[in-house]
Amino acid sequence: MSYAVEAQGVAFPYLMIQMYRSGEASGSMDKTALIMADQYTKDHRIKGKKKSAMTYPIILIIVTILVLLIVYLMVLPSFFDIFKNVDLPLITQINIGISHFIQDYWYYLILIFAFLIVGFMAALKIKKVRFKVDKLKNKMPLFGKLMITIYTSRFARILCSLYTSGMSIVNALNIAKTTIGNVYIESQFDSAIKKIRNGETLSQSLKDIEGFDVKLTSSIYVGEESGRLETMLTNPADDFDFGAEQASERMVTLIQPIMIIFLALVICLIIISVLLPIYTLYNNVGNM
Integer Cα distance of 251 and 53 in angstroms: 9
Least-confidence region, from 90-94, 139-143, 258-262? 139-143
Q: What is the pLDDT of residue 23?
A: 78
- What is the predicted pLDDT for the residue at 57? 75
Domain of residue 222 covers: 138-248
- Give the pLDDT band of residue 286 (cuts 50, 70, 90): low
- Mean pLDDT confidence for 108-131: 87
Distances in Å between the Cα of 179 and the Cα atoms of 114, 157, 183, 206 are: 30, 10, 10, 16
Burial of 285 from C-beta contacts in 10 A (0-12 / 13-18 / 19+): exposed
160 with 216, same domain: the answer is yes
Spatial distance between the Cα atoms of 77 and 75, rounded to a whole number of angstroms: 6
φ and ψ at residue 11, rounded to 5 degrees:
-65, -30
Residues whose CB falls within 8 Å of the CB of residue 145, separated by 6 or more in sequence, listed in order = 247
* Residues 241 and 146 placed together within one structural domain of the fold: yes
* Same-domain status, 235 and 153: yes
Whether residues 127 and 224 fall in one domain: no
Give the Å distances, CA to CA, from 156 to 135, 149, 189, 226, 258.
20, 10, 14, 18, 33
Residue 216 shares a structural domain with residue 241: yes
Would you say residue 60 lies in a domain?
no
Whether residue 221 lies inside any domain: the answer is yes
Task: Tell whether 111 and 167 lie within a shared domain.
Answer: no
Q: How many domains does the chain have?
A: 2
Q: Cα 257 vs. chain centroid, distance in angstroms? A: 19
- 140: confidence class by pLDDT, cuts 50, 70, 90: confident
Query: What pLDDT digit, counting tens, does each position of 252-275 carry?
Result: 777 778 878 887 888 888 888 778
Q: Is residue 276 part of a domain?
A: no
Final residue of a domain: which of 114, 133, 152?
133
- CB atoms closer than 10 angstroms to residue 193: 16
Answer yes or no: is 180 within a domain. Answer: yes
> Per-residue DSSP letters for 2-62?
HHHHHTTGGGS-HHHHHHHHHHHHHT-HHHHHHHHHHHHHHHHHHHHHHHHHHHHHHHHHH
Which among 255, 280, 244, 258 is positioned nearest to 92, based on CA atoms?
280
Same domain, residue pair 112 and 197: no
Angstrom distance (rounded) from CA 179 to CA 39:
12
Residue 279 has pLDDT above 80, yes or no: no
Percentage of the chain lying above the pLDDT 70 cut = 96
pLDDT at 288 over 70: no
Rg (CA), the chain: 27
**23-27, 183-187, 231-235, 256-260: least confident range:** 231-235
Q: Looking at the structure, do residues 127 and 186 belong to the same domain, yes or no?
A: no
For 131-142, the DSSP string reads HHHHHHHTTSTT
Do 118 and 159 lie in one domain? The reply is: no
Q: For residues 45 and 112, which has the higher predicted lDDT (pLDDT)?
A: 112
Residues 6 or more apart in contact with residue 207 via CB below 8 angstroms: 217
Inside any domain, residue 42 = no
Region of 203 (left: φ > 0; alpha: ψ -120 to 50; beta: rest) is alpha
Confidence band of 115 (pLDDT split at 50, 70, 90):
very high
Looking at the fold, whether 116 and 164 belong to one and the same domain comes out as no
Q: What is the DSSP string of 92-108?
A: HHHHHHHHHHHHHHHHH
Mind listing the pLDDT tens digit for each residue in 212-261? 888 888 888 888 887 777 777 777 777 777 777 777 777 777 777 887 88
User: In terms of domains, do 226 and 126 share one?
Assistant: no
The pLDDT value given to residue 98: 84
Q: Are 255 and 142 in contact (CB under 8 A)?
A: no
**CA-to-CA dists, residue 110 to 2, 105, 117, angstroms:** 47, 9, 11
The answer to whether the beta carbons of residues 76 and 99 sit under 8 Å apart is: yes
Q: Is 204 inside any structural domain? A: yes
Residues with Cβ within 8 Å of residue 120, at least 6 apart in sequence: none
pLDDT tops 80 at residue 155: yes
| Domain assignment present for 226 | yes
- Quick one: which of 26, 35, 36 has its CA closest to 166? 26
Across the chain, mean pLDDT equals 80
Q: Are residues 147 and 243 in the same domain?
A: yes
Q: Which amino acid is at 260?
A: I
193 residue type, one letter = I
Query: Of the candidates 133, 150, 172, which is a domain's last residue?
Result: 133
User: Which one is predicted more confidently, 283 or 108?
Assistant: 108
pLDDT at 127 over 80: yes
Is 120 domain-assigned?
yes
